[in-house]
């Protein structure tokens, strides 16, 4: 990940943590970077369902193209669940699975690669949710059905 982008993300994370603690939830938001990370936009993405997520990605792709963006960061809450390794997924959303976890996710895309940041959300502190350190991993080849990819393409 580009050092300039990492420095910008390091500013975003504490603000996201404060917003989650204050509001109890995170509004999905996109941070678009342009002009060698010196310019950009912040765009709220208050999607409520999969169709709205798809429409947001289409709009973000268009805006990235208009700005000649060099990077995009998507920050949102999500549900995750582990699938048994010997079973095929039956289509049940993670939010409906008994082993679900609430997480903060960051999808980071630059022209030369993608990364995923995640942290578990902890709601055990007297109604003040928070999250810990973001764990990062590079994204390799992705399933073509995944919506959060090739936004800069």
Higher-pLDDT residue of 132, 149: 132
The CA-CA-CA angle for residues 20, 96, 24, to 5°, reads 10
Q: Which helix (H) or strand (E) holds 14?
A: helix 3-23
pLDDT tens string 95-121 = 888 888 999 999 999 988 889 999 999
Looking at residue 103, its pLDDT comes to 94
How far is Cα 86 from Cα 139, in angstroms, rounded to an integer? 23
Beta strands in the chain (DSSP E): 29-34, 39-44, 71-80, 101-110, 113-122, 130-131, 135-139
The reported pLDDT for the residue numbered 26 is 93
Domains of the chain, by residue range, sit at 3-139
Q: What is the mean pLDDT of the chain?
A: 88
Instruction: Look at residue 153 and tell me whether its pLDDT is greater than 80.
Output: no
pLDDT in tens, 5-24: 999 999 999 999 999 999 99
The mean pLDDT of 46-69, rounded to a whole number, is: 91
> Is this prediction's pTM over 0.85?
yes
Mean pLDDT of 19-44: 93
Residue 124's contacts (CB-CB under 8 Å, 6 or more residues apart) are none
Predicted pLDDT of residue 87: 64
């Amino acid at each position: 990940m580009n050092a300039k982008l990492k420095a910008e993300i390091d500013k975003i994370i504490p603000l996201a943590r404060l917003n989650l603690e204050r509001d109890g939830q995170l509004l999905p938001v996109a941070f678009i970077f342009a002009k060698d990370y010196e310019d950009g936009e912040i765009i709220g993405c208050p999607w409520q369902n999969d169709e709205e997520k798809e429409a947001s990605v289409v709009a973000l792709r268009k805006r990235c193209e208009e700005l000649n963006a060099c990077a995009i960061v998507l920050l949102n809450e999500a549900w995750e669940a582990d699938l048994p390794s010997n079973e095929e997924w039956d289509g049940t959303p993670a939010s409906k699975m008994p082993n679900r976890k609430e997480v903060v996710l960051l999808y980071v895309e630059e022209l030369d690669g993608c990364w995923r940041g995640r942290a578990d959300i902890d709601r055990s502190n007297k109604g003040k949710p928070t999250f810990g350190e973001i764990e990062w991993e590079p994204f390799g080849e992705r399933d073509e059905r995944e919506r959060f990819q090739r936004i800069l393409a």
